[in-house]
Amino acid sequence: MPQTMIEKIISTHAGRTVKAGEIADIVIDARVARDFGGANVVKNLEDNGLSIADSEKTFFTFDCNPGGSDQKYATNQQKCRIYAREHNIQVYDIDTGIGTHAAIDKGLILPGGTFVSTDSHANIMGAIGAFGQGMGDQDIAAAWANGRIWFKVPKSMKVMLRGSMPEGTYAKDVVLRLLQEFGAAGLLGYSAEFYGEAVDAMGLSDRITVASMATEMGGIIALFPPSEDILEEFTAITGKKVAGVYADEDAVYDKTIEISLDDLEPMISRPGHPEDATTVKSEAGRKIDSAFIGSCTNGRFEDMQVAARILKGKKVAPGVVLKIVPATREIWQRCLDEGLIEIFMEAGALVGNAGCAGCAAGQIGQNGPGEVTVSTGNRNFAGKQGKGEVYLASPATVAASAVSGVISSELSMPAKPAVFAAGGGKTETVKKERTSAADKPRVIDGRVWVIDKDNIDTDMIFHNRYLTITNIAEMGQYTFDNLEGWEDFAKKARPGDIVITGGNFGAGSSRQQAVDCFASLGVQAVVARSFGAIYERNAINSGFPIVVSDILESGIESGEDISIDLTAGTITRKKTGETIAAEPFSDIQLEIYRKGGLLNL
């Protein structure tokens, strides 16, 4: 049977031939927990009396808060260190940098391999032709304990990037163009394979940039067939010949999309939504307060080189703060050895320890109320990188904007920098704690809350400033407090309620708290047109009912009562007697639900 790349990789690790739509139990080659997720993984293992299947394939990576400057982060890191000592687990500590990059550069994962992490951008491994997946705390705990995890084989899409990138455009411009094309859910549930002339010309850093933002399009993974250069790099790292995995010539794809890059321009995403991408030209001239270069998307040495080329001999505009964070210690050292750090410092930039920086709310890169930032990060959800507004762009555009004081591409920098302008801010409200125990009926009755919005991301559901919370009883009070118009949801919700919403619910991070906060409030279920891939797994694995249905089309309103038959796949509006179709629980979903969670199987 002809197979796509993802089908081949999963087949190899499942020990049998698989196809799209099947659920397979697969061996995981590298199993990783980060600093904020790691403490929850340890808690899950200890609470359930589980041990480690293979410590040589199990790792901690501390990249969210390299300085340990937050007490809760420092506490969680130390919990992980102690657990690692007791179980002979390798810790890539605060001096290492971004865990996914270290895994690539140190050969923890090879082309054709499998990798899971509490990092929702673990699918960055698609850059080397490997399978990577961000997962929640229970998933990772199960993978550590069993060495395997279940996975639904995704459908495959072939994406052809035609033509070549014009002068002044980069891989980040390519992926922002893809976001403009696909939106936040255009790759939902897909493994996308990338081919074409532009792909052939991409080095590892370029492929990492594109692969790291598959999550922002709803994708399971963006896979690149490994080039000979990449295979040679891994051969040098491992000391033995490394081969890639490639799709069969007659592999069958669910879709094939062609995108021309001949007319590509420097791109930028407007604040709040990575998919709200447009040309830099259309946003040029807006005054900025700060700029950030780094993250798993653009923290490679090649990204630093581009920034240094533009900054050399120039100064950051008056009043503008430029923060630069290389992805790993080795990249940082190379920047130092080759004079890039000196260029950054002379330009007036702040250079931080290797790590995730602002994206993880744990190091430099955050912004304040009213602050306008241009960033090379992969997400700019409201509140994700602070209280200000965040644009996403390439290292070239960010460096050019920092020097110009306004949004600018490197091809259109003004002769003189703009004068600094300050912004305003907004306060937040702390929500009252509410908790409730849940039971496991197959038919659920309850009052509904209708939130007719698509692409509600995990920062809107449960903001990243609360990620250090491990006690579910404390989580409910923060539910939706970053979703405009629903900040008081936790005060109004009552045990037994059901949330009904739009498509791609739970897009974004791998945080388990975005599921557990509903259980904390006693909310019985969430019904949506579709769910973000990681969110769907987290909900299923915690035994929390999520139901796929187009019930919004029926005109249902908040306050109505409904009945959901989880096994039959039906929803009944008690007000009208109307029955609406829903996807019934799969066998695995039903089994996990009945057992009360993945770790109880």
Q: Taking residues 240-258, what's their average pLDDT?
A: 96
Contact at 8 Å (CB) between 356 and 98?
A: yes
Query: Tens of pLDDT along 451-484?
Result: 999 999 999 999 988 888 889 999 999 999 999 9
Average pLDDT, the chain: 93
C-alpha distance across the termini of the chain, in Å: 33
Task: For 151-183, write each residue's pLDDT tens digit.
Answer: 999 999 999 999 999 999 999 999 999 999 999
Whether the Cβ atoms of residue 514 and residue 538 lie closer than 8 Å to each other: yes
Examine the pLDDT at 439 and tell me if it is beyond 80. Answer: no
State which H helix or E strand residue 565 sits in. Answer: strand 561-565
Phi, psi of 123 (to 5 degrees): -75, 5
Q: If you ran DSSP here, which 8-state letter would residue 367 be given? A: B
* % of residues, the chain, pLDDT over 70: 95
pLDDT in tens, 77-94: 999 999 999 999 999 999
CB atoms within 10 A of CB 279: 17
User: 134 forms bridges with which residues in the sheet?
Assistant: 117
What is the rounded CA–CA span in Å between residue 79 and residue 72?
A: 11
Cβ proximity of 242 and 156 under 8 Å: no
pLDDT score, position 433: 41
Can you tell me the distance from the alpha carbon of 467 to that of 470, in angstroms, rounded to the nearest whole number? 8
Handedness of CA 131, 137, 141, 142 (dihedral sign): negative
Distance between CA atoms of residues 248 and 67, nearest Å: 46
Please tell me the distance from the alpha carbon of residue 404 to that of residue 258, in angstroms, as a whole number: 35
Contacts of 514 (CB under 8 A, 6+ apart): 458, 461, 462, 506, 535, 538
Q: Are 320 and 371 in contact (CB under 8 A)?
A: no
- Cα 37 to chain center, whole Å? 13
**Which DSSP letter does residue 162 get?**
E
Residues of the chain with CATH 3.20.19.10: 443-600
Q: What are phi and psi of 162, to 5 degrees?
A: -90, 155
Is residue 60 over pLDDT 50?
yes
Residue-wise pLDDT for 388-422, tens only, equals 999 999 999 999 999 999 999 999 999 999 975 44
Q: What is the mean pLDDT of residues 428-444?
A: 55
Q: How far apart are CA 143 and CA 166, in angstroms?
A: 44
What per-residue confidence (pLDDT) applies to 387? 84
Contact between 526 and 498 (Cβ < 8 Å): yes
The answer to whether residue 423 scores a pLDDT higher than 60 is: no
- Contact present, 161 and 64 (Cβ < 8 Å): no
Output the six-digit token pair for 483: 């979703």
Residue with tokens 């939706």: 480
Which of 566 and 359 is assigned the larger pLDDT?
566
Please check whether the domain covering 287-404 is classified as CATH 3.30.499.10: yes
The one-letter code for the residue type at 45 is: L
Residue 83 structure tokens: 């657990």
Q: For 346-377, b where at least 16 C-beta lie within 10 A, e where not — what string? A: ebbbbbbbbbbbbbbbbbbbbbeeebbbbbbb
CATH number for domain 443-600, candidates 3.40.1050.10, 3.30.1490.390, 3.20.19.10, 3.20.20.70: 3.20.19.10
CATH of domain 5-260: 3.30.499.10
Q: Where in the chain is the domain with CATH 3.30.499.10?
A: 5-260, 287-404
User: 298-315: per-residue pLDDT in tens?
Assistant: 999 999 999 999 999 999
CA triple 98-103-104, angle to 5 deg = 105
pLDDT in tens, 363-394: 676 788 899 999 999 988 887 777 899 999 99
- For 13-43, the pLDDT digits (tens) are 999 999 999 999 999 999 999 987 899 999 9
